[in-house]
Amino acid sequence: MDSRRDFLQKLTLSAMGLPLISLSGSPDMAAFYREPYEGPVLRVAIMGLGSYGTRVAEAMQDSQKAKLVGVISGTPSKIKDWQSKYNIPAKNCYNYENFDQIKDNPDIDAVYVITPNGLHHDQVIRVAKAGKHAICEKPMAVNAKEGQEMVDACKKANVKLLVGYRMHFEPKTLEIIRMREAGEFGKIMFFQGLTGFKIGDPNQWRLNKELAGGGAMMDIGIYSVNGARYMVGEEPVWVTAQETKTDPDKFKAGVDETIQFQLGFPSGAVASCLSTYSMGNLDRFFLNGQQGYAELHPATGYGPIKGRTHKGELNQPHQTHQTVQMDEMAGIILESKKPVVPVDGEEGLKDLKIIDAIYLAANTGEKVSLKL
């Protein structure tokens, strides 16, 4: 302890000769001055080593409470590359056929499933049966029936099921939620969620009904579904929806190109949302109350998120979403922490019930009642 105190005193004296700096604007410097973490660490294996799996792995290098210790992939060359890059031992590497063997590996606490939507159900259930906690990318499954089976399997195995809702930990998003809960917007009247982009390669898995479970709604649209719930602060009781398809060759049967949907809430608030694979420059949330408003634009990208309310600009510092998410999820799994907005399987299941209803409403033209 004395040596640490001496070091800190010398560091302080040295810093007196330096110009003042703002730690809030410099995540790297803020991390430098952060106290070393000495608590429990969640040891994670990533399943699915694609672009987003890589993003999570990179972000985890800065996590304090979560550590990448294993990989699961169907591509041997990727496993070899990750072993080298992240110093992963061979005994913690698996493929999609043998990963059930993780049940005998005490070095892995949780598996983060980052594979196509249509594979989540079976893979998460296998992880649960192996006695490991499961983190699953969103949407959790391709429909509510599968989602319920995943929730039930994890409960039966006495493991936690979390969903990759990174925005639930984003500072500007949380500030808007705080303001709403404090009554600073007054009675909430309206929410608008615009989510979409122009999708590229027509042969990618996101346009394959079996792997994706749908189209834009099962990819980018879930952000508006979930965002409507945490921004309004209520659960919807009805939904209406309309589908538009301009390119049936690219967007086959069961793969939605554009869906507009509306949600009604018990208080009388309404939401109007857009999910699309054929328009860019969207990613906008707008919340309107009788006494104020909040806007995020961009609202769900990797950041930095930008926002303002009737009181002015939101200036909470940007943090890498996946780093924060993994630290917070480690706290949930290891310390039973309670997040402001849930990220558990039940939360994911509610979104799936809404998405099921959106597809039904779009197909029938009817208003569909919801009971979450």
Residues annotated as catalytic are 138, 223
CA–CA dist 85, 310 (Å, integer): 46
Alpha carbon distance, N-terminus to C-terminus of the chain: 53
Answer for the pair 127, 113: CB distance below 8 angstroms, yes or no.
Answer: yes
CA–CA dist 159, 134 (Å, integer): 7
Among 185, 168, 277, 171, smallest CA distance to 229 is for 168
Q: 356: Cβ–Cβ under 8 A, 6 or more apart, which residues?
A: 143, 144
Q: 144: Cβ–Cβ under 8 A, 6 or more apart, which residues?
A: 349, 352, 353, 355, 356
CA–CA dist 253, 233 (Å, integer): 34
One-letter identity of residue 312: G
CA–CA dist 69, 93 (Å, integer): 9
Tokens of 271: 């939401």
Answer for the pair 131, 103: CB distance below 8 angstroms, yes or no.
Answer: yes
Answer for the pair 258, 248: CB distance below 8 angstroms, yes or no.
Answer: no
CA–CA dist 206, 224 (Å, integer): 18
CA–CA dist 88, 95 (Å, integer): 14
Among 93, 110, 130, 8, smallest CA distance to 56 is for 110
Between CA 190 and CA 198, with CA 192 as vertex, the angle to 5 degrees is 170
The CA distances from residue 205 to 120, 141, 164, 198, in Å, are 14, 15, 19, 15
